[in-house]
Structure 1
């Protein structure tokens, strides 16, 4: 009988111990859960407070070491880094989309702009209009370059027309316009007295490139850009090679026309990779 009572007491003690341990674990779990929630809310409020109260400009009141140890400074620095990275990526993507259509050989397979043209030089014995170096009777300087190719090789026309060496603008907007002309000056052994001047005293040549636009409402062409350089006549058997390049933007209206003139069209090297001009709509 005494043994039975002892076993019952032992069972009650064990049961009480298990209940106390369960209650302790439950209370500990609730306590730590409450502490974690409190810490999370405090961290969220501090993060929002950092974003609301942060000064975007670098402060002068704290040293660099104090800033690095400040959690708010770390949060704002990370945010600034991600914002700057997103803006830089977007800017590069937009600029790439605008400039890939300038030359088709630069980005094969990339769709061209809605309005664009790139025309290249082509050899032609009757494709030039000659004029004096001074302003001609037609109102422009230099000699017109008419021998341009718009459909074969590296050239293309995208919603623009090429008429007698002129690019016809189809719609109003801001256009990016560019041109390059390549010159081959004969050497002193090849050039005769007429090419260098009757007295033979001329030591060089002035190479000039003009970009003009013609408007239907104005009879005289308007000079948009000009590029020039002074080149010396090459001495020796090899010819002298020189190039002029220029580019810029201009606002054009429908039916405006663009054309190129140079100081000495007979000296141009009309290779499609050396002499070309074009334009495309920016916006």
Structure 2
């Protein structure tokens, strides 16, 4: 019986100790929670007070640097200013990025008008060889009399086959430029040199044919045509039964003004083959 009573007494003591410990923990939690709420409310009030009375130091003598660092209000306002400046800087950067993106997006249609549904202006021409399109050589073939070398090609075909004119005109074998800009200009001429045969004593079989193609520009403010490009090659007259076939091709860019004119001249015009698939001339605006 004594042992049973001792066990019961020990259990009661243990239960009482647990109960007291629980009560102490609960009281401590309530106390610290109240203190925390009080500190938070005090800090909030002090922060508002610092904001309301932020101009007090400006009215009185300025605090020393060490006093400022130890002043809670100064620390609070410095942190607040830092966060405000950071937020404003982030927002400004974001708005500037959006503005620059919109500006670049708005500038793209200038480079590519088709992006807004407006087709880009087409300025182009491709003309092909036609029969009797070479002017007869003048009595004096020097450059001083005409202002250009070779024999000029006229009456290009501009309507049939692969030929076309897009916002450009063809006048007397000259392409008329409608607007200023950088143009890509190209030309090809095809030559058929007849065979000299197998007859001995024909001196022409020892000679070479000088084939030259010129691209000229005429300006309204300048009387003499300006040579833009030329291409040349030396070809031997064929000795067999078949004729000799040769072609000259050249292309390049040039900045042209409105009313400028482009034309082609060649040497050995009598040997030129005016097949539209082999002899052609054209230009188009690239920028």
User: Scaled by the length of structure 1, what TM-score is found?
Assistant: 0.55
Kept in 2: contact 1:113–1:281 (CA 8 A): no
C-alpha change, 1:271 and 1:231, in structure 2 (3 Å) is same
Pick from 207, 211, 214: which aligns with 2:211?
A: 207
Alignment of 1:253-264 (within 5 A): 253-264=257-268
Aligned to 1:143: 151
Aligned to 1:175: 183
Distance 1:147 1:162 in 2: 9
Aligned to 2:232: 228
Pick from 143, 156, 162: which aligns with 1:154?
A: 162
Q: Write out per-residue CA displacement over residues 150-196 of structure 1, whole angstroms, 9 at most, x where no aligned residue.
A: 111110000000001000000000000000000000001299x9xx8
C-alpha change, 1:223 and 1:265, in structure 2 (3 Å) is same
Aligned to 2:171: 163
Kept in 1: contact 2:238–2:244 (CA 8 A): yes
SS in 1 for 2:196: coil
SS in 2 for 1:266: helix
Kept in 2: contact 1:133–1:263 (CA 8 A): no
User: Scaled by the length of structure 2, what TM-score is found?
Assistant: 0.55
Displacement of 1:203 in angstroms is 2.0
Distance 1:157 1:136 in 2: 32
Displacement of 1:265 in angstroms is 1.1
Displacement of 1:270 in angstroms is 0.2
Aligned to 1:274: 278
Pick from 196, 199, 224: which aligns with 1:188?
A: 196
C-alpha change, 1:209 and 1:112, in structure 2 (3 Å) is farther
Q: Does 1:237 align with 2:245?
A: no
The count of aligned residue pairs is 169
Q: Which runs of 5+ in 2 are unaligned?
A: 1-111
Displacement of 1:112 in angstroms is 9.4
C-alpha RMSD over aligned residues? 2.5
Task: Judge which range, 251-260 or 136-145, deviates more.
Answer: 136-145
Aligned to 1:68: none
Displacement of 1:204 in angstroms is 1.2
